[in-house]
Amino acid sequence: LQEEIQEVKDEGNLETLFNSLDKIVEEAKDREEPAWRPSGIPEEDVRSVMVPYLLKHRSYLQKVLKEKEEENRQVAESVLAGRARIAELQQLILARKQAWQ
């Protein structure tokens, strides 16, 4: 029986696994607060991890949105200035055409 137990321990590398389990148990003894355990409600368990990430991502997207809005405002001003210049040139062309006739 002892030989069979030793074979199982050798095949499954149980000695190393038991040693790592003992190490985890020893480390847990020094903790003041209890270890985290899932609540059984996956939505709540994931929320604690996802909310900070999503808030950070939202801040990033808001920053990018502000940059794009500023860029669009500048382009719109440029377009309006271009349209005004075109209107001026059309008036100048019309005036010169009338003067030529």
Give residue limits of the domains in the chain.
Answer: 1-38+49-100
- Cα-Cα-Cα-Cα torsion 78, 80, 85, 91, nearest 10 degrees, comes to 170
The DSSP element (H or E) to which 11 belongs, if any, is helix 2-11
| pLDDT of 76 | 97
Buried b (16+ CB within 10 A) or exposed e, 41-51: eeeeeeeeeee
Q: What's residue 80's pLDDT? A: 97
Secondary structure letter of residue 40 according to DSSP:
S
The token duo for 89 is 């040139």
* Residue ranges, the chain, pLDDT below 50: none
Q: In whole angstroms, what is the distance from residue 82 CA to residue 77 CA?
A: 9
pLDDT at res. 33: 79
pLDDT at 83: 97
- The dihedrals phi and psi of 83, each to the nearest 5 degrees, come to -65, -40
| pLDDT at 4 (0 to 100) | 83
What pLDDT score was predicted for residue 63?
Answer: 98
